[in-house]
């Protein structure tokens, strides 16, 4: 607790040292009074996704009278309803998704997780059980049952969040909110009425929406976004994924495990360009062993849906002869964009950048006094856990306390199998910055727990400052890498050296020992290789 307090007192910025920001305000929003009308709320949060509902709960915990407005009618945002949780399971989703609170955040329930887990269980039963002495008969996929399990998970989790708002005495308004003034929000309720919610401080937490591509119309049937990919009624024989980022590879992995022939088309020369180069190459090889095909440096010229399937016309990114590729379903996974439609930001003068992101200062304050923004609508990683941290820090600033989010230390995870997780700098970034560093690596093939469970693909890679041994980056490819990475996040948060981790006792046999061994290899020598 003492260390956390020190860290928060020392924190002076939300963004990384390389970030630039146009606003520097001397005023403190928590000192503002109500502009007019009844003094009902200290804080009003627009959006009930991972950033929004967390901000609302934290505000209430700090003694601030709080209202949370959510258009969807169910809390949790994109992550819970049509994102992270369902995909990491499988449920029918309406074609038209309510987008008031689309926040892609991993900290709250997410449909993707449900689907990834269900498809992995099927794949294991079909391909791995026999080698462990577990004999089963014919293994089949029951898509409706899989979807129902995902549906159940989502419903239970959304109800749980609503219970948390009630427990913390947060007023919950179901409807679409838009600004009347910097302190007044008009809400068209889902019941068909209208109400005006007033507050001293308004937090915009409306998240993000799917980024479309020119000439491609998403119908959520044959050409789908990640939302539609979670609601397919049957397993497509052929699936094309446009975009080799985290979401595209996760969804491609899901349907590939269930039997689809998956081809990933990517304009860039590499998959997941933000990933450490060495890890990325091993990751791609792993996916290719799972029969996922890649067409890199490839541009989508046009899409034809006049036939029974979908026909894509492709050409090299640098130009050249065109080719065609056919599939039953095409998943467009070209990224996400901030969702601020209908908020009437222009009416109150909130400034945005060219990408549509709301500009905020170090306290998450916009250029309009009393109006804040967090999560996917502002610069920074579009991740659920980042939005949650934004929400907590923003409310702490409003309450007159100190908040702290270090965007350089937000972990990223690709929830395929094996998973890939990372925090801090990549080797390529360190070379660009001219930093002298040491590298320590340890393969899971030499980890006893991984070998015992016959799941030893991957490695841990640690990058540390050559002179001080301070850890600069950690990259893990392994089963449950998303769980293993948090020891590294904590180490970077408190400026630990690789020797610090190496001299910390790790239980045996565990996958975590690979991190210890990689740390030993960084400052000295590993034992078990």
Tell me which residues are annotated as active site: 508
- Give every CB contact of residue 459 below 8 A, 6+ residues apart in sequence: 279, 282, 441, 442, 443, 444, 476, 477, 478, 514, 518
Are residues 270 and 296 in contact, defined by beta-carbon separation less than 8 angstroms? yes
**Sign of the alpha-carbon dihedral angle for 23, 28, 30, 31:** negative
Q: Report the C-alpha gap between 128 and 123 in whole angstroms.
A: 8
Would strands 293-295 and 329-332 be described as parallel, antiparallel, or unpaired? unpaired
Burial category of 91 from C-beta neighbours within 10 Å (exposed 0-12, middle 13-18, buried 19 and up): buried
Contacts of 251 (CB under 8 A, 6+ apart): 87, 112, 226, 229, 230, 241, 331, 333
Number of H helices, E strands in the chain: 16, 21
Where would I find the beta strands (DSSP E) of 165-284?
Answer: 171-181, 184-189, 194-204, 208-210, 223-224, 238-242, 261-265
DSSP 63-83: T--EEEEESSSSSSHHHHHHS
- Euclidean distance between the first and final Cα of the chain, in Å? 37
Token pair in block for residue 219: 């119908």
Contacts 24+ apart (CB under 8 A), 346-355: 347/179, 347/180, 348/179, 348/181, 348/182, 350/204, 351/22, 353/379
């Amino acid at each position: 607790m003492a260390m956390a307090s020190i860290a928060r007192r020392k924190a002076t910025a939300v963004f990384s040292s390389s970030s630039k920001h146009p606003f520097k305000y001397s005023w403190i929003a928590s000192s503002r009074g109500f502009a007019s009308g009844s003094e009902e709320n200290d804080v009003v949060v627009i959006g009930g996704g991972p950033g929004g509902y967390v901000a609302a709960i934290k505000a209430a915990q700090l003694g601030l009278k709080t209202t949370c407005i959510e258009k969807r009618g169910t809390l949790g945002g994109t992550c819970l309803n049509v994102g992270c949780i369902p995909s990491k399971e499988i449920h029918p989703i309406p074609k038209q998704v309510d987008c008031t609170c689309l926040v892609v955040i991993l900290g709250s329930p997410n449909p993707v997780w449900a689907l990834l887990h269900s498809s992995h269980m099927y794949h294991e039963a079909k391909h791995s059980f026999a080698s462990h002495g577990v004999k089963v008969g014919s293994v089949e996929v029951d898509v409706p049952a899989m979807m129902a399990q995902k549906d159940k998970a989502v419903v239970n989790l959304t109800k749980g969040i609503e219970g948390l708002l009630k427990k913390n005495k947060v007023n919950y308004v179901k409807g679409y909110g838009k600004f009347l003034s910097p302190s007044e929000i008009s809400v068209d309720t889902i019941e068909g009425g209208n109400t005006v919610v007033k507050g001293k401080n308004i937090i915009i937490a409306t998240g993000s929406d799917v980024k479309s591509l020119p000439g491609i119309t998403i119908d959520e049937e044959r050409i789908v976004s990640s939302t539609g990919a979670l609601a397919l009624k049957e397993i497509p024989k052929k699936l094309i994924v446009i975009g080799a980022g985290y979401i595209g590879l996760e969804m491609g992995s899901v349907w590939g495990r269930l039997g689809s022939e998956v081809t990933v088309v990517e304009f860039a020369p590499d998959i997941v360009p933000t990933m450490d180069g060495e890890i990325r190459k091993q990751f791609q090889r792993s996916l290719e062993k799972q029969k996922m095909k890649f067409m890199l440096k490839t541009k989508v010229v046009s899409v034809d849906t006049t036939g029974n399937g979908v026909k894509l016309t492709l050409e090299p990114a640098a130009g050249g002869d065109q080719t065609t590729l056919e599939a039953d379903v095409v998943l467009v996974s070209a990224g996400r964009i901030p969702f601020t439609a209908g908020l009437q930001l222009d009416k109150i003068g909130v400034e945005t950048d060219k990408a549509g992101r709301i500009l905020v200062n170090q306290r998450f304050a916009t250029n309009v006094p009393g109006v804040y923004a967090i999560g996917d609508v502002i610069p920074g990683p579009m991740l659920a856990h980042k939005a949650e941290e934004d929400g907590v820090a923003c409310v702490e600033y409003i309450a007159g306390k100190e908040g702290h989010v270090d965007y350089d230390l937000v972990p990223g995870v690709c929830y395929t199998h094996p998973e890939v997780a990372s925090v801090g700098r990549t080797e390529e970034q360190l070379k660009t910055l001219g930093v002298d560093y040491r590298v320590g690596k340890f393969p899971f093939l030499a980890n006893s727990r991984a070998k015992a469970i016959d799941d030893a693909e991957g490695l841990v890679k640690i990058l540390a400052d050559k002179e001080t041994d301070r850890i600069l980056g950690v990259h893990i490819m392994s089963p449950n890498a998303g769980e293993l990475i948090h020891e590294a996040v904590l180490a970077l948060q408190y400026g630990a050296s690789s020797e610090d981790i190496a001299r910390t006792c790790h239980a045996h046999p565990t996958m975590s020992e690979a991190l210890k061994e990689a740390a030993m290899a960084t400052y000295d020598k590993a034992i078990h290789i």
